Copies of this chain bind each other. A is one copy, B any other.
Amino acid sequence: MLEDKNQEKTSLSELGEFGLIKHLTKHFSSYHKTTIKSVGDDAAVIDSSEKQTIVTTDLLIEGVHFDLSYMPLKHLGYKAVMVNLSDVYAMNAEAEQITVSIAISNRFPLEALEELYAGIQLACNTYNVDLIGGDTTSSTKGMLLSITAIGKANKEDVIYRSGAKPTDLVVVSGDLGGAYLGLQVLEREKQVFQVNPENQPDLDNYTYIIERQLKPEARKDIPELLKELDVKPTSMIDISDGLSSEIMHICTQSKTGCKLYEEKLPLDPQVISTCEEFEIDATMVALSGGEDYELLFTISIDDYDKIKGNPNLSVIGHITEENQGMNLVTRANQEIELKAQGWNSFKG
């Protein structure tokens, strides 16, 4: 009775994930002065006296966000925590607690869940985070994980997506595109395996990008590094859906444009060689790949000397006035408009 038989109804794919959340929550109002920031950033902010509490949540679903035929359960547990911690660090906050809710079908034995929790525990130990609760239940199909992460920050330290100003530099940590390419390699090997289960995959040439996909690390070190360097970003976001999509969030919320430079995009040599092998454009992968969990932020141009030459950071462009749009300057010195082609779970 709830199926969509009415052709006039709105399909979810028309809205996309961001449009959907915005649409569904636009009539909600805030009651508490302590609710500093709710929907619309990486995480919610709750005032707790001098410190502010940071809350973020993510839902990971088998068959949508992960494929257990090549994602070991321990890695899945680890990655699920990383996805959430990354959002806390993107607020320039310290992650302190997580809750983990899991639904699983009867096809999983206890030992499978133990593996999953071993990954969650490794993440908690490595990142000094406390598991403080959750819910465990059966599902009618497959596995899903819902994690909420909670962090703390001094009020004056919290960094939103909305603070970028024209002339600010756009900076990214680490390198881009690896996680997406790792997924392509794993998908290819899965298909080979389905045709010929005897075939032993040789993945030596892909170790880095496969690790980027299966065991990403949240960049806890970057806010610490920036503090040491005495640089406070004007805006910050983590790269979960691809660089294009994320810089567009910063520009939209900051009411600015931006200019990124293709030649400045940080690419690992394995990303470049694998792109050649797969005959895909490395720039496209860096812009739209997603799941890199690097931090993207903007800094005042006055801080350039403080970060210049740091091997963890790449300046990839600058913020412009809003009316100049959001553009990529190609190696051929052409300007093309950025498009958010990141992952949209309601498409396809």
Q: Is the CB of B114 within 8 A of A57?
A: no
Q: Is the CB of B10 within 8 A of A110?
A: yes
Q: Give chain A's interface secondary structure class.
A: mixed
**Quick check: is A109 within 8 A (CB to CB) of the other chain?**
yes
**Quick check: is A332 within 8 A (CB to CB) of the other chain?**
no
Q: Is the CB of A49 within 8 A of B46?
A: no
Which A15-38 residues have C-beta < 8 A from chain B?
Answer: 15, 17, 20-21, 23-25, 27-28, 30-32, 34-35, 37-38
**Quick check: is A294 within 8 A (CB to CB) of the other chain?**
no
Instruction: List 28 A-B pairs, Cβ < 8 Å.
Output: A4-B112, A9-B109, A10-B110, A12-B104, A17-B137, A24-B136, A28-B131, A30-B130, A34-B96, A38-B132, A39-B134, A49-B49, A49-B50, A53-B150, A55-B97, A55-B148, A57-B101, A57-B135, A57-B146, A59-B102, A59-B146, A101-B146, A137-B345, A138-B345, A139-B144, A141-B141, A141-B142, A146-B146
A interface residues, Cβ below 8 angstroms from B: 1-4, 6, 9-12, 15, 17, 20-21, 23-25, 27-28, 30-32, 34-35, 37-39, 43-44, 46, 48-51, 53, 55-59, 61-65, 68-69, 73, 96-97, 99, 101-104, 106-114, 117, 121, 124, 128-142, 144, 146, 148, 150, 152, 345-346
